[in-house]
Structure 1
Amino acid sequence: MKLLVRNLARNTTEDELKNLFSVHGTLQSCNLVIDKETGESKGFAFIEMPKVGEAKVAIKTLNGMDVDGSKIRVKKAEETVKKEEADTE
């Protein structure tokens, strides 16, 4: 299950996120979104956890938690349909 983590402090690192989420299960990927111009975090990340049950526990436990002085928001990421796929349906 792909998760969206928002409202991250600008100084929160990908390693911190991995440590935070790995307590709740296996991580498939962790992608902290970085501004190409400034090199700083944009304040959100995507976490992928292969087991839905573990992902749901992570959402329930971590949503609203204070991390580096920011109250983070964790939810299931919305699946986007690629334009080419949408055009063929």
Structure 2
Amino acid sequence: MNIYVSNLSFDVQDEDLKDFFAPYGEVTSAKVITDRETGRSRGFGFVEMTDEAASKKAIAELDGATVENRTISVSVAKPKEDRPSRGNGGNFNNGNSYNKNRY
């Protein structure tokens, strides 16, 4: 099961996140999401656990827990939705430029 964890301290690393969930069962992956440009934590992450019952117990017991003086939120991760890419979201260069018919 994939678990979403938010309101993490910016000091929390992948290994710390894994350690928070390890007492509940096998953690197959733990990833704190970082900003692409700065490499700084964005304050949330994802944990994947193999056992669904262990995942549900971890969610129930860790949601609202205080970690490094912050109250974290823990829930089942929702599937990533398809969204338009940010690179050409405005479609500014679509061939209908105002310069096309000027010359």
Smaller-chain TM-score bracket = 0.7 to 0.9
Secondary structure at the aligned position of 2:36 is classed as coil
1:26 corresponds to: 26
Query: Deviations 1:15-57 (Å, cap 9, x if unpaired)?
Result: 1111110010001111110112121100000100111000001
Letter in 2 for 1:43: G
Q: CA–CA distance in 1 between the matches of 2:7 and 2:53?
A: 24
Structure with the bigger percentage of helix:
1
Q: CA–CA distance in 2 between the matches of 1:17 and 1:80?
A: 21
Report sequence identity in percent. Answer: 34
The Cα shift of 1:81 comes to 5.4
Equivalent pairs, count = 83
Query: Normalized against structure 1, the TM-score is what?
Result: 0.86
- Alpha carbons 2:17, 2:31 under 8 Å: kept: no
The Cα shift of 1:82 comes to 5.2
> Alpha carbon RMSD of aligned pairs, Å?
1.3
- Quick check: 1:10 aligned with 2:10? yes
Q: CA–CA distance in 2 between the matches of 1:41 and 1:23?
A: 24
Higher RCO (CA-CA < 8 Å; seq separation 6+):
1
The runs of 5 or more residues in structure 1 that have no matched partner are: 84-89
Moved over 3 A (4+): 80-83
The runs of 5 or more residues in structure 2 that have no matched partner are: 84-103
Equivalent positions of 1:60-79 (< 5 A) are 60-79=60-79
1:56 corresponds to: 56
